[in-house]
Amino acid sequence: MVLALVAGLTAVAAPRLGAGVDEIRAWARQRELLAGLERARIEALDHDETVTLCGGTPQSGCEAQGWDDGWILFRGEVASGQAPEPEQLLARGRGAGPGHRVAAGTGAEGFEFAPNDWWHDTAGSITLCRDGVKVAGIEVAMTGRPRPADEKRGDPCD
């Protein structure tokens, strides 16, 4: 009898637990990307050089569709499909994971932060999706300041 009760409760709770874990993963990815964008701003100012955060991997470089594979932070400008030199690489982030997708607004490859030109390719957005639905987002202002943008949670992903 006790086993049947535990099995019944587990069957009811398991889907909710899975959804909760997915929410935590989306939140963690959003925070990781926010931290990467903030670090890019700081690195550009501290080292007086252009710093880029883009979708892709250290091996493949920046790609507009590469956000699902992860992101890279490096010194220098976006060069489509060209991997940064190892000494340029500052950090890398993980990919989207099964059932998840990460997309930059208007197919942007990345965000460039220049030390003296805050209007330089920084404005845009990043959307985190799960099963075709928005679960988290990030807006990057023209000044390069990133912020969470979760007001459209639950909307369909484009």
Domain boundaries, the chain: 2-148
Question: pTM for the full model?
Answer: 0.79
Indicate the CATH number of 2-148 among 3.55.40.10, 3.40.50.720, 3.40.50.2000, 3.40.718.10: 3.55.40.10
List the structure tokens of 134.
Answer: 């928005």
For the cut 70, the answer to whether the pLDDT of residue 114 exceeds it is: yes
Say how far apart CA 94 and CA 45 lie, in whole Å.
25
The per-residue pLDDT of the chain, averaged, comes to 81
The pLDDT assigned to 38 comes to 93
Say how far apart CA 119 and CA 154 lie, in whole Å.
31
In this predicted model, which residue has the larger pLDDT, 92 or 108? 92
Q: How confident is the model at residue 8 (pLDDT cuts 50, 70, 90)?
A: low
In the chain, the percentage of residues whose pLDDT exceeds 90 is 17
In this predicted model, which residue has the larger pLDDT, 34 or 80? 34
